[in-house]
């Protein structure tokens, strides 16, 4: 038990008042953050992640304040029901875990350079193949550089007008998928003289003797 000695008769009232005061401070802080740009609704990379974590922290504090108020009210009605304190503490820990777990998963995806969940990579690859004069797409990669911000890299093989294909691909990626960080390399569709396996039309080295 967290209370080895009996609480004062008015302990429930004191706890409730302090919880209300703390909740008021957190609500004022949340309002100030929303007015200063935290609630603009746009993603700003690392800054957006920091603001998001700060908002989660404030929400958790407000939840903790509510639990403290409930604890105070229960102790005010039942002064000897000391078990309410650890029970409410466990409830708050569960709330904290549920609220921070999504952000932790986002950060882990960035650290592991995982494929973004909000981008259909296969559809993006097919859209690149639909661009005029594009015959092959090789070395296609898409990964998260920050939560909500994706980078794309690919090699495009074209039959003609490589500059037009590059502009069309970058424009499509930016307007359709909202991805501004893309590194595209346009290559000639003709096979190289070396006959390397990476060329789209390269002959199979195993059949060279036939």
Strand order in the sheet with 134-146: 134-146, 149-158, 181-188
Helix/strand/coil for 134: strand
Are 44 and 70 found together in one domain?
A: yes
CB count within 10 Å of CB 79 equals: 15
Are 106 and 125 found together in one domain?
A: no
Are 86 and 156 found together in one domain?
A: no
- Of 93, 111, 129, the position where a domain reaches its end is 111
- Residue 42: which pLDDT band, with cuts at 50, 70 and 90? very low
- Of 57, 86, 111, the position where a domain reaches its end is 111
85 belongs to a structural domain: yes
Burial (CB count <10 Å: 0-12, 13-18, 19+), residue 200: middle
3-state secondary structure 135-193: EEEEEEEEEEEECCEEEEEEEEEECCCHHHHHHHHHHHHHHHHCCCEEEEEEEECCCCC
- Residue 50: which pLDDT band, with cuts at 50, 70 and 90? low
40 belongs to a structural domain: yes
2 belongs to a structural domain: no
Are 71 and 157 found together in one domain?
A: no
72 pLDDT above the threshold of 60: yes
- Residue 192: which pLDDT band, with cuts at 50, 70 and 90? low
Are 103 and 31 found together in one domain?
A: yes
Are 83 and 134 found together in one domain?
A: no
Are 173 and 134 found together in one domain?
A: yes
What are residue 151's DSSP bridge partners?
Answer: 143, 181
> Is the separation of the CB atoms in 134 and 152 below 8 Å?
no
Domain that holds residue 35: 11-111
Phi, psi of 82 (to 5 degrees): -70, -20
Are 45 and 100 found together in one domain?
A: yes
What is the domain count for the chain?
2
> Is the separation of the CB atoms in 74 and 21 below 8 Å?
no
Are 81 and 137 found together in one domain?
A: no
98 belongs to a structural domain: yes
Lowest mean pLDDT among 45-54, 58-67, 129-138, 157-166: 45-54
Which spans in 34-151 are helix H?
46-77, 84-111, 121-129
Q: Which two tokens stand for residue 2?
A: 């967290």
Q: Is the pTM of this model over 0.85?
A: no
Model confidence pLDDT, tens digit, residues 133-191: 888 899 899 988 887 788 999 999 988 888 888 999 999 999 998 888 888 998 887 55
- Of 90, 111, 132, the position where a domain reaches its end is 111
Among positive and negative, which fits the CA dihedral 67, 68, 69, 70?
positive
Q: Long-range contacts made by residues 60-67, C-beta under 8 angstroms, separation at least 24?
A: 60/95, 60/96, 60/99, 60/100, 61/22, 61/26, 62/23, 62/26, 62/27, 62/30, 63/92, 63/95, 63/96, 63/99, 64/92, 65/19, 65/20, 65/22, 65/23, 65/26, 66/19, 66/23, 67/91, 67/92
Q: What is the pLDDT of residue 162?
A: 85
Are 15 and 106 found together in one domain?
A: yes
Are 44 and 82 found together in one domain?
A: yes
> Is the separation of the CB atoms in 142 and 178 below 8 Å?
no
């Amino acid at each position: 038990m967290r209370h080895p000695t009996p609480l004062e008769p008015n302990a429930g009232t004191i706890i409730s008042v302090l919880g209300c005061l703390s909740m008021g401070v957190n609500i004022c802080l949340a309002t100030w953050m929303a007015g200063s740009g935290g609630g603009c609704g746009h993603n700003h990379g690392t800054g957006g992640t920091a603001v998001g974590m700060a908002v989660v922290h404030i929400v958790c504090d407000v939840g903790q304040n509510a639990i403290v108020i409930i604890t105070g009210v229960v102790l005010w009605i039942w002064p000897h029901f000391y078990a309410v304190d650890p029970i409410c503490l466990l409830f708050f820990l569960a709330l904290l875990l549920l609220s921070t777990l999504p952000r932790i998963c986002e950060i882990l995806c960035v650290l592991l350079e995982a494929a973004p969940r909000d981008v259909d990579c296969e559809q993006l690859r097919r859209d690149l193949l639909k661009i005029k004069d594009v015959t092959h797409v090789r070395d296609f990669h898409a990964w998260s550089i920050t939560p909500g911000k994706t980078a794309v890299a690919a090699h495009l093989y074209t039959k003609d007008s490589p500059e037009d294909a590059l502009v069309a691909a970058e424009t499509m990626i930016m307007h359709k998928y909202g991805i501004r960080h893309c590194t595209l390399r346009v290559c000639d569709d003709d096979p190289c003289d070396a006959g390397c396996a990476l060329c789209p039309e390269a002959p199979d080295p195993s059949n060279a003797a036939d």
